[in-house]
Structure 1
Amino acid sequence: MRYFIYVSYIGRVYSGWQIQKNAISVQGILQELLSKILSEPIHLYGSGRTDKGVHAKQQVAHFDVTPTLDTSNLLYRLNRMLPSDISITTIRPVVDDAHARFDASYRIYEYTINVNKDPFCGYTASWLHHLPPLELLNQAAALFCLKTDFEFFSKITHQVQHFVCDIQEAAWVQKGSQLVFRIKADRFLYGMVRTIVSTMLKVGTGKMSLSVLKKMILEKPLKRPIITLAPPHGLTLVEVGYPEVLFLE
């Protein structure tokens, strides 16, 4: 049987989702624990990577196991044994060829910024000492709502075959003393959301004009711009969506 497992975690002490040599990862901890509980080697395949220090309210992975599982019992045992900064929210049986990465129809990320320094949100939000104009930030965000090549807004990697993403939503909202940027797309590139956030903040603080940003997105200048990334601890993967036909329940 194949199952989708839904994972929530604070990424502060982890090297990211994906297993790496000589580093602690969320995937590594969960995969080892599943193998121990189920008494057979378990291999997890995630919906995508999250960088070091990035969080997830809903990361999704799939795994195969020989017996049919009592998912409620497994959920309880995992949460009892996992560290306090990782939890399992759901385990769902799926069709045999369902894939957590390739069958995902969309992903949603949120980036949170505190305008006032707040020790209770220090691990899950970055901090700015003043509030950029919300209207200007949303004018910048609207420029990203299209399907195009976003290579300029990603880290360089040779593991990506193409850089085309379809961004369906991108908007900032103010919640009290916080700014929250929400973005939805079919896929994201390595470091893409943090790069987009950093670039929009340049617009919001007057270091870049909307016309220059629009040219970067649409015209692809010959010279690659200098890439900066917003701090990782402000970023959270909040949702991964799938067609309901994949689920057996």
Structure 2
Amino acid sequence: MQKNAISVQGVLQESLSRVLAECILIYGSSRTDKGVHAKQQVAHFDLGYAPNLSNLLYRLNRMLPSDMSVTAIHPVVDGAHARFDACYRVYEYTIIPNKDPFCSHTANWFQYLPPLELLNQAAALFCRKEDFEFFSKVTKQVQTFICDIKESIWFQKDGKLVFRIKADRFLRGMVRTIVSMMLKVGSGKMSLSALKKMITEKSTIRPIITLAPPHGLTLIEVGYSEGLFLKEDG
């Protein structure tokens, strides 16, 4: 929710409240940096009865504006929380080698694509359970900086260079910082050994890090345990 702007959460919450004829509060699985996209986002809300979910989905999408769509509504166990019960999150960062007006808002235009093999050598260094405070924006709201990164890989797709990272959680600005540092390695401005030292030695001296532009980053998936979902009637 934003005090001075329209938000996805605000519009969805208002629409749900109108469809269900009662005040509904929704809780999202996470929030992204300003300018970052989401192909999938998850939220939960509490209701005192079991509605017809297919009918609710249809009525809700009829009410939502054209730039918003709810793809599914599932019943879950009591106490389930979209944020705290998430097992993992997946982000992708996309780079294009040429100016392309059709994806200028969702990909970062990089003049020279770094070598894929070198980028993956850098990406492999992050595949670990580690304190990643060094690669995040400093904030007092975080109780722990430990993140368990399960996947960190670059690949080519449709002429684009895509970085995919999967972890149990992410810190503020973390993915964009990691991408920025890997691109430094890929462009020869930093060595692999220097990057590894940053990850493992936890220097108290924070270098000046330019975060990768936010529009190239997209939240792709939020995952949950199957035990969280109740069997649906029909």
Asked whether the two chains share a fold, i.e. TM above 0.5, the reply is: yes
Kindly indicate whether residue 47 of structure 2 is the aligned counterpart of residue 68 of structure 1. no
Kindly indicate whether residue 189 of structure 2 is the aligned counterpart of residue 211 of structure 1. no
Query: Alpha-carbon deviation of 1:81?
Result: 2.4
Deviations 1:79-112 (A, max 9, x none): 2222232211110000011111111111111111
Which of these residues, 14, 17, 35, is aligned with residue 17 of structure 2? 35
The 3-state SS of whatever aligns with 1:121 is coil
Map of 1:188-199 to 2, 5 A cutoff?
188-199=170-181
Q: Normalized per residue, which structure has more strand?
A: 1
Structure 1 residues 225 and 173, CA gap change in structure 2 (3 angstroms): same
Tell whether the 8 Å contact from 1:195 to 1:227 is kept in structure 2 after alignment.
Answer: yes
Query: Alpha-carbon deviation of 1:151?
Result: 0.4
Counterpart AA for 2:92: E
Tell whether the 8 Å contact from 1:166 to 1:185 is kept in structure 2 after alignment.
Answer: yes
Query: Alpha-carbon deviation of 1:209?
Result: 1.1
Counterpart AA for 2:69: S
Tell me what 2:230 maps to: 248
The 3-state SS of whatever aligns with 2:72 is strand
What value does the CA root-mean-square deviation take over the aligned residues? Answer: 1.1
Which of these residues, 106, 113, 116, is aligned with residue 134 of structure 1? 116
Distance in structure 2 (CA, Å) of the matches to 1:161 and 1:101: 15
Distance in structure 1 (CA, Å) of the matches to 2:94 and 2:180: 12
User: Tell me, which stretches of 5 or more residues in structure 1 are unaligned?
Assistant: 1-18
Which of these residues, 85, 89, 95, is aligned with residue 107 of structure 1? 89
Counterpart AA for 2:71: T
Which of these residues, 76, 93, 111, is aligned with residue 94 of structure 1? 76
Distance in structure 2 (CA, Å) of the matches to 1:39 and 1:154: 41
Distance in structure 2 (CA, Å) of the matches to 1:23 and 1:225: 34
Distance in structure 2 (CA, Å) of the matches to 1:152 and 1:50: 19
TM-score by length of 1: 0.89
Counterpart AA for 2:31: R
Identity of aligned residues (%): 75
The 3-state SS of whatever aligns with 2:70 is strand
Distance in structure 1 (CA, Å) of the matches to 2:67 and 2:184: 33
The 3-state SS of whatever aligns with 1:86 is coil
TM-score by length of 2: 0.95
Tell whether the 8 Å contact from 1:35 to 1:42 is kept in structure 2 after alignment.
Answer: yes
Distance in structure 1 (CA, Å) of the matches to 2:175 and 2:169: 11
Map of 1:9-88 to 2, 5 A cutoff?
19-88=1-70
User: Tell me, which stretches of 5 or more residues in structure 2 are unaligned?
Assistant: none
The 3-state SS of whatever aligns with 2:230 is coil
Deviations 1:8-58 (A, max 9, x none): xxxxxxxxxxx1221222111111111111111111111111122211121
Distance in structure 1 (CA, Å) of the matches to 2:59 and 2:36: 25
How many pairs are equivalent? 231
Counterpart AA for 2:22: E
Tell whether the 8 Å contact from 1:110 to 1:181 is kept in structure 2 after alignment.
Answer: yes
